[in-house]
Structure 1
Amino acid sequence: MTDYLEKAAVRLPGKVAIVDEVRQMTYGQLLQDARRIGGVLASRVGEKLPVALWLGREGRSIAASQGVAMAGLAYVPLDISMPRKRLRKIFALLQPDFIIADQANSEAAKGFAASLEKVPEVLIYEEMTAGELPEAGRAALGRAMAQRSADDALSIIFTSGSTGTPKGVVSSHRMLAAYTDWQVEALGMDEQMVRASQSPLYFAIGAYSDVYATLAAGGTLHLLPASAFMFPRDLMKRLAGLGINTIFWVPSLFRQIAEMGGLAGELPPLETAYFCGEPMPMGALAAWRQAFPKCSFSNHYGSTELAIAAWYPIGAGEELDYLPIGQPCRGKNEIRLLDEQGSEVPTGEVGEMVVFGPVASEYFGDEERTREAFGVDAEGKRYFHTGDLARRDEAGVLTYVSRSDAQVKHMGYRIELGEIETAADAVEGLSASVCLFDKEKDTLVLFYVAAETLTEKALLSELTDSLPRYMWPARLERLSAMPQKQGGKIDRQALKEML
């Protein structure tokens, strides 16, 4: 995957590749920093353990990830603002030898590292990239790059896990190369692309699409801060000033901008807008299509385990009552709809989407969940059970129906409700909890039974210490007892009726 950067740096060394709030980096600068980081790691690494990135939303994060990959190692982009309890669970799985941090974040990284049972060494970005790489480092980097294979792990992105432990999705070079090549060709991306990123670099859209599509096409990527999205009209004016022509955002952001008048002011020269992560509200889509009549819109379906597996390009003037997820990415994936016995369902009937092709390798350090979700068929094709139910029409177009388990999509993230329940159950004084998703209101609701000594404020404080913001329940409902079925199990249907 580092070939994209290397080729772009040869072709366009002085072109600006990444712009963040602090600096801009050219393709030549990205490659120079990446090679120096790769050389340092390659000359010091023993066992091939993942390398954690304790960096902000900036171009340096991308340079560091490429350097780790050049050294033949897997990089792990971290949300360094997440609760330390959750970070410790991640590090307990990873057991890394190294953390890469910049000077601004180094003290926090060192303090956290010192609290771990296995203390990783914190390497400072500025020190790794200062001066020329010694001959020994260049030689070690050359050997490491020569020994890499397409099936090596490239990145590990942590997502929500139902047991309370986050799942580390291991993606290979092969998987992300297949997606990147498809994306650039299908969407017609080239050096003229000027892209605005909304997703964090530890989220699949940011880590997979925004970064690698830009490097492969030779475009320019603007990493906008979260604060830029607070005021839609100001955001659109800023995009116009930057000449943004390409965006890949979650539907909730498209909806927010449309509802808050963001489309009524100055607008950017959008040519390509696509979205995934949750259903796109049809009213919001209609507003965007009206505001940008010459822009190409498309709905994409995927997950961290898949990147993107299907898409639906919306035709100019096409009238839609609902938005399908479309068809498999040509030349990349095959999607089968299977029943509970593993047989394909007839056209028009509902089945679980099982994706065959270049999918993620495993859940890091979790053989049981890997066996449950991934497999290899008799022809040697890898596949992934998505847990999403869909139906296929006569034209081969897929329409999403629902989840088959307790995983939901909220704020663009896939969330295991069980992880929220596990965090709640760990709170002293709480005896039972059930978390449900109110789809109509797009909110997480936690029902719980607890001792009188546990206040709602105290419970919420414990949850915010253990869970990332997008997993915080918006509503807490205290019950005297959980409703039960005859067999003694909690009656979740009765709770759903209380939403």
Structure 2
Amino acid sequence: MDRPHYKFWPKRLPHALTPPATSLWDNLEISARRYPHKPAIVFFGRTTSYAELQEQAERLAARLFALGVRKGDRVLLDMQNCPQLVIAHFAILRANAVVVPVNPMNRAEELKHYITDPDAKVAITTGDLAGEIAKADAQLAPADRLAHLIVTQFTDAFDPDAPDTGPIPAAWRDWLLPRHALPPLASGETMAWAVAIDNALPLPPLEVGPEDLAALPYTSGTTGLPKGCMHPHRSLMHNAVAGNVWGNGTPETVTLAVVPMFHITGMVSMMHSSIYTAATLVMMPRWDRDVAGWLISNWKVTSWTNIPTMVIDLLASPSFASFDLSSLVHIGGGGAAMPQAVAQRLYEHYGLNYIEGYGLTETAAPSHSNPPDAPKQQCLGIPFMSCDARVIDPDTLLEVPSGQQGEIIVHGPMVFNGYWKRPEATAAAFIEFEGRRFFRTGDLGRTDEDGYFFITDRLKRMINASGFKVWPAEVEALMFRHPAIQEACVIAAHDAYRGETVKAVVVLRPQFRGQVREEDIIAWCRENMAVYKVPRIVQFAEALPKSGSGKVMWRTLQEAEPRA
């Protein structure tokens, strides 16, 4: 295979990397031993040292073991970014169990699947979300329910009255500052975070290694409910280490952690990468441009992984002139293309190249990244360290020439093992190519003469709203539960800010026609699904276009939708 991109490869780096043959827990233990007093996390002015992080994670791991968690058990983790998320994540790993990260935007109807599919019996969450988990749990059959729910409050991790908390937006106060009541479980026990970690319980032996399952992040697709992606310690370890090396990470790196850590990018490229090298995570629970500007300025942030809409929003802040971005040495991200004008402004005013990358939940975040010294704008980059990526004809499965469109396929140590309990989906996701197992991304792309990859289209139905991936089949499945909806087809609509937004074309049942309005459907969706999945536009139709076999022709509706 010709590899023209090697001409642009950072000369200081090898093409492939040998990651440590240890568990992800070992990264925290080693960093805490080397740098016990160094800040691991900063959250509203409160600093958690590496020694404190390890101690709290071990105490929670001992509690999990006492609650019956054993090697390979799946534990639900449903939180916004906060120190407790990092503590709980590593506690689950230290208990020899598997992290099931859940998007905190999910509502009860969606959460039921995340309890039953991984057979979770223990969940860890924050007070603002605990009620939704309890509501979902109560609707399950007794045999499927949770046995234990551990609930923390955001203020367990900081003092809102301390003088150095920094700005707390008014819109955050209702969910961030109150101490929410602990909801009862239908067939189990709820425990406060403080009680959970205040123990002298014995720790189990560390029994997991590179091949054991570490995380089960879920991803949706063209059909059915979300599928769990089986990532062993070694796949996440590779990209955590490689991300550090690629981005010149050191123990002095200060990372702005605002990309959600339930998401594979935040989990691997920020959290695990930072813990491996003993960097400092300056954490934000949600996005707010003025909070971000203040944190970068005051904590001298050096590295910021984001989605482009965050950068656009920050640059548009009326307070922007008061922010000091001079400490930043690395800025980049993915999920959506960075507009060229914005990238150019970053470079001209701050000397920062915005480093775009590409990856999926199945590839532990990056499978591609732009070389820091030779990036191209609006480009996926080149195959990441240890990764082989090709562009093939999706029908013949033969590699296509440079410049020609085809499906991107990926092989490397960052690729997941397969889908949890979905052997058919796993088989369909992989092909043998040149004697090796390649993952079919479902994304259409091309390479240029330098070997850089560019995305051109998608084989799979997917809407990209400000970097959030919305899978129409999942939204449709939820919408069909509305009593007035006879049929629904979800497509992408142009949005000036989000890039794409969600639109639903709906056929009402005859008895509801004229009785239910578009805004009624939208309001119901807000009650039953994560807000980023909610259709912003609902269009009623007499019927949906169908093929001769009766399948809804979603592409016909999509192609009729006006483009920018």
Same-fold status (TM-score > 0.5)? yes
Moved more, 170-179 or 447-456: 447-456
TM alignment of 1:31-180, pairs within 5 A = 31-42=54-65, 44-46=68-70, 48-101=72-125, 112-117=136-141, 118-122=144-148, 123=150, 124=191, 125-133=193-201, 137-138=202-203, 141-142=204-205, 145=206, 147-180=207-240
One-letter amino acid of the counterpart of residue 304, structure 2: I
Which residue identity does 1:393 align to in structure 2?
D
Tell which deviates more after alignment, 163-172 or 201-210.
163-172
Q: Which one of the candidate residues 181, 186, 202 is aligned to 2:246?
A: 186
One-letter amino acid matched to 1:204: I
The letter of the residue matching 1:254 is V
Map of 2:527 onto structure 1 = 465
Secondary structure of residue in 1 paired with 2:407? strand
Q: State the shift of 1:32 in Å.
A: 0.9
Distance (Å, rounded) in 1 between the aligned partners of 2:226 and 2:319: 35
Could you tell me whether the CA contact under 8 Å between 1:159 and 1:414 is conserved in 2?
A: no
Structure 2 counterpart of 1:13, one-letter code: P
Q: Tell me the secondary structure at the aligned position of residue 535 of structure 2.
A: coil
User: Could you tell me whether the CA contact under 8 Å between 1:37 and 1:129 is conserved in 2?
Assistant: yes
How big is the shift at 1:109? 5.0
- Aligned ranges 1:240-389 → 2 under 5 Å: 240-260=297-317, 263-268=320-325, 269-293=327-351, 295-306=352-363, 307-313=365-371, 315=373, 322-330=377-385, 332-339=386-393, 340-358=395-413, 359-374=415-430, 379=435, 381-389=436-444
Q: Does residue 218 of the first structure (1) align with residue 291 of the second (2)?
A: no
Identity of aligned residues (%): 21
- Quick one: which amino acid aligns to residue 489 of structure 2? V
- After the TM superposition, which of the residue ranges 304-313 and 457-466 deviates more from structure 2? 457-466
Name the amino acid aligned to 1:336: R
Cα distance, 1:476 vs structure 2: 1.1
CA shift at 1:215, angstroms? 0.5
Preserved contact between residue 263 and residue 288 of structure 1 (Cα < 8 Å): no
Contact 1:21 1:225 in 2 (8 A): no
- Larger deviation, residues 120-129 vs 190-199: 120-129
Distance 1:106 1:440, change over 3 A: closer
Moved more, 41-50 or 182-191: 41-50
Mapped partners of 1:79, 1:390: distance in 2: 28
Q: Which among 207, 211, 214 is matched to residue 267 of structure 2?
A: 207
| Shift in CA distance, 128/342, structure 1 to aligned 2, threshold 3 Å | same
The 2-side partners of 1:291 and 1:75 are apart by 41
Which residue number corresponds to residue 497 of structure 1? 560
- Matched AA of 2:292: L
Give, in angstroms, the shift of residue 47 of structure 1: 6.8
Aligned CA distance change for structure 1 residues 36 and 235 (closer, same or farther; 3 Å): closer
Change (3 A) 1:20 1:112: farther
Is this contact kept in 2: 1:277–1:303, CA < 8 A? no
Q: Report the Cα offset of residue 101 of structure 1.
A: 4.4
Question: Letter of the aligned partner of 1:238 in structure 2?
Answer: L
Change (3 A) 1:155 1:262: farther
Aligned to 2:49: 26
SS of equivalent residue, structure 2 residue 30: helix
Q: TM-score, normalised by structure 1?
A: 0.89
1:416-472 per-position Cα deviation (integer Å, ceiling 9, x unaligned): 112122222332222222211124642221111214133223211222223211111
Quick check: 1:50–1:75 contact (8 Å CA) kept in 2? Answer: yes
User: Does the 8 A contact of 1:160 with 1:167 survive in 2?
Assistant: yes
Query: What secondary structure sits across from 2:396 in the alignment?
Result: coil
Give the Å deviation of 1:82.
Answer: 1.9
Deviation at 1:15, TM superposition (A): 1.2
- Kept in 1, the 8 Å contact 2:522–2:536? The answer is no
Distance in 2 of aligned mates of 1:114 and 1:423: 19
| Partner SS state of residue 100, structure 2 | strand
The amino acid of 2:457's aligned partner reads S
Question: SS of the residue aligned with 1:363?
Answer: coil
Give 1:195 shift. Answer: 1.0
How much does 1:363 deviate? 2.1
Give me the CA root mean square deviation.
2.6
- 8 Å contact 2:521–2:538 — kept in the other structure? no
Distance across 1 between alignment mates of 2:253 and 2:296 = 13
SS at structure 2 position matched to 1:313: coil
Distance, in Å, in 2 between the alignment partners of 1:74 and 1:488 is 41
Deviation at 1:233, TM superposition (A): 4.8
Give deviations 1:256-276, integer Å, cap 9, x for gaps: 233455654422221100111
Equivalent-residue separation in structure 2 for 1:42 and 1:174 (angstroms): 23
- TM score, norm. by length of structure 2: 0.79
Match of 2:186 in 1: none
Q: Is the 8 A contact 1:258 1:288 kept in 2?
A: no
- How many Å separate the matches in 1 of 2:45 and 2:109? 30
Contact 2:213–2:232 (8 Å) recurs in 1 = yes
Hey, what does 1:15 align to over in structure 2? 38
More divergent stretch after superposition (99-108 vs 177-186): 99-108
Classify the secondary structure of the residue corresponding to 2:97. Answer: coil
Pick closer, same or farther for the CA change 1:314–1:438 going to 2, 3 Å. Answer: farther
CA distance in 2, matches of 1:45, 1:485: 49
Structure 2: gaps of 5 or more residues: 1-23, 151-190
User: Using the alignment, how far apart are the partners of 1:41 and 1:424 within structure 2?
Assistant: 36
Deviation for aligned residue 1:414: 2.1
Please state how far the C-alpha of 1:243 moved relative to its aligned partner.
Answer: 1.1
> Partners of 1:9 and 1:324 in 2: how far apart?
37
Whether the 8 Å CA contact 2:115–2:146 is kept in 1: the answer is: no
Deviations 1:336-387 (A, max 9, x none): 21112221112221111111012112222222222221456675x4432111
SS at match of 2:389: strand
SS of the counterpart of 1:116?
coil
2:122 alignment partner AA: F
